């Protein structure tokens, strides 16, 4: 089969790239997808509710993709199709949008399939083709463009957009194939690793408290005694360790054996008055609003007796309690694997891709978008936003081509 533009992967970024290139009259546009249906990962995003983007300015957005190099790279894509463009795109096609108080943006129905239907219908309306159950196995550069070997035969194309996603949740179809294709075509990778992933904690005291969550003002990551990163956010206790946005967002910078020091209260809240009065230690500390079972377990882990009179707490024990509540130490055994991670860190080296067009700087007429690139965003809608923005940018870059 001969097509003008081939897109590999009908996930979030591939559908966006297909819509944009078909709309731009780039000749025949075809999106190939290994699964029987498109957008599996999109469907399960946000627990099926699909947190598509976040409120705020694009300047705010740039702080949510890791370091300044990443911020610089994502900027043109985000400008080209920003969070307002995303919400308008769906609203104009009849999907009411909901912005939560925390800034996260969802379809009002909280149903990702409603949005996926719009993307697929738009691809179709623009004249783009979608071919499912087609697994691309190999890609070769030819004089005329690219030759793709798939389970159902061969495809020839002049322009190729790789939108195969990362490697997390391999059951969705994103199994890292695109990394292999990129390397074969001459690109380099920052080694892919699971990110937005929970932590498994060594000698964990809180296994029975799974489901309890709390806000932490300061989550510090220490490696070999040196602080390497810090953040804040909601933390969720799991039966094996820690999760929740505060942990997931930091996970790209965490390694096994790191020590996390997690504040449960602010240091200035810990005053001598805490121990005054007739209460037990446990009741006295409840002024901090910590879930009772969690508080008792913290005190047991020190160890100290939760039911002793607060006034009888000696200096040494007070110090221990202060230390635990203002920076409870957790040693990371390991990070959650590919089946647990919500995104892929690493990917195609950014210096090898033109951030203004998404075209390869190594292979002309080859484009990348979405998680295949060395970009991973925080929780809150930043990954879907980048997948859509980079897909639209790649497709729009073919504007003058037909």
Ligand X SMILES: Cc1cc2nc3c(=O)[nH]c(=O)nc-3n(C[C@H](O)[C@H](O)[C@H](O)COP(=O)(O)OP(=O)(O)OC[C@H]3O[C@@H](n4cnc5c(N)ncnc54)[C@H](O)[C@@H]3O)c2cc1C
Residues that bind ligand X (CB under 6 A): 8-14, 32-35, 40-42, 44-46, 50-51, 135-136, 163-165, 168-169, 172-174, 177, 342-343, 370-371, 381-384, 387
Q: Cα torsion at 278, 316, 237, 240 (round to 10°)?
A: -140
Least Å distance between CB 5 and ligand X?
A: 15
Residue of minimal Cβ distance to ligand X: 11
Report DSSP state, residue 10: -
Count of CA atoms in the C-beta half-sphere (13 A) of 158: 9
Least Å distance between CB 21 and ligand X?
A: 15
The CA-CA-CA angle for residues 168, 237, 286, to 5°, reads 155
The CA-CA-CA angle for residues 301, 246, 296, to 5°, reads 20
Least Å distance between CB 132 and ligand X?
A: 9
Beta strands (DSSP E) in 90-212 are 97-99, 104-107, 129-131, 136-141, 146-150, 153-162, 189-195, 199-201
Least Å distance between CB 229 and ligand X?
A: 21
- Closest to ligand X by CB, 241 or 370: 370
CA gap 197, 236 in Å, rounded: 12
- Closest to ligand X by CB, 45 or 55: 45
- Closest to ligand X by CB, 65 or 204: 65
- Closest to ligand X by CB, 149 or 276: 149
Output b/e per residue, 112-122; b: 16+ Cβ within 10 A: bebbbebbbeb
- Closest to ligand X by CB, 297 or 396: 396
Q: Cα torsion at 143, 146, 149, 155 (round to 10°)?
A: -100
Residue entry with tokens 């996390």: 260
> What six digits make up the tokens of 378?
């925080």
The CA-CA-CA angle for residues 213, 218, 222, to 5°, reads 110
- Closest to ligand X by CB, 241 or 391: 391
Nearest to 178 by CA among 379, 5, 8: 8
- Closest to ligand X by CB, 172 or 357: 172
CA gap 84, 75 in Å, rounded: 15
Least Å distance between CB 117 and ligand X?
A: 16
Least Å distance between CB 26 and ligand X?
A: 19
Dihedral (CA of 367, 22, 49, 38) sign: negative
Least Å distance between CB 286 and ligand X?
A: 34
Least Å distance between CB 48 and ligand X?
A: 9
- Closest to ligand X by CB, 41 or 282: 41
- Closest to ligand X by CB, 80 or 136: 136
Least Å distance between CB 364 and ligand X?
A: 22
CA gap 282, 402 in Å, rounded: 72
- Closest to ligand X by CB, 4 or 177: 177
Least Å distance between CB 75 and ligand X?
A: 18
Count other Cβ atoms within 10 Å, centred on residue 322. Answer: 14
């Amino acid at each position: 089969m001969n097509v003008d533009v081939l897109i590999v992967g009908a996930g979030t970024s591939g559908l966006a790239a297909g819509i944009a290139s078909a709309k731009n009259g780039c000749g025949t546009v075809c999106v190939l997808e290994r699964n029987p249906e498109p957008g599996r990962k999109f469907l399960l995003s946000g627990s099926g509710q699909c947190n598509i983007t976040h409120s705020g300015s694009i300047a705010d957005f740039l702080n949510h993709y890791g370091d300044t190099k990443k911020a610089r790279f994502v900027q043109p894509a985000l400008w080209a199709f920003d969070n307002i463009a995303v919400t308008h795109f769906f609203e104009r096609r009849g999907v009411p949008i909901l912005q939560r108080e925390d800034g996260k943006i969802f379809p009002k129905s909280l149903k990702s399939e409603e949005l996926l239907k719009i993307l697929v219908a738009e691809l179709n309306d623009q004249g783009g083709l979608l071919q499912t159950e087609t697994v691309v196995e190999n890609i070769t550069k030819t004089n005329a463009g690219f030759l793709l070997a798939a389970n159902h035969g061969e495809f020839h194309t002049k322009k190729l957009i790789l939108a195969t996603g990362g490697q997390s949740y391999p059951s969705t179809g994103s199994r890292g194939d695109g990394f292999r294709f990129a390397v074969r075509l001459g690109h380099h990778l920052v080694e892919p690793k699971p990110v937005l992933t929970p932590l498994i904690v060594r000698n964990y005291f809180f296994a029975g408290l799974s489901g309890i969550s709390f806000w932490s003002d300061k989550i510090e990551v220490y490696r070999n005694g040196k602080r390497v990163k810090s953040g804040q956010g909601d933390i969720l206790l799991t039966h094996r360790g820690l999760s929740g946005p505060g942990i997931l967002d930091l996970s790209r910078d965490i390694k096994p054996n790191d020590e996390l020091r997690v504040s449960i209260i602010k240091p200035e809240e810990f005053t001598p008055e805490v121990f005054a009065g007739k209460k037990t230690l446990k009741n006295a500390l409840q002024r901090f609003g910590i879930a009772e079972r969690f508080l008792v377990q913290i005190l047991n882990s020190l160890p100290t007796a939760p039911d002793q009179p607060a006034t009888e707490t000696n200096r040494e024990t007070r110090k221990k309690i202060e230390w635990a509540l203002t920076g409870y130490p957790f040693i990371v055994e390991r990070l959650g694997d590919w089946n647990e991670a919500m995104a892929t860190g690493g990917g195609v080296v950014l210096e090898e891709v033109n951030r203004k067009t998404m075209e390869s700087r190594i292979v002309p007429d080859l484009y990348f978008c979405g998680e295949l690139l060395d970009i991973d965003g925080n929780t809150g809608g930043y990954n879907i936003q980048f997948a859509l923005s980079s897909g639209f940018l790649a497709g729009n870059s073919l504007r003058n081509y037909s």
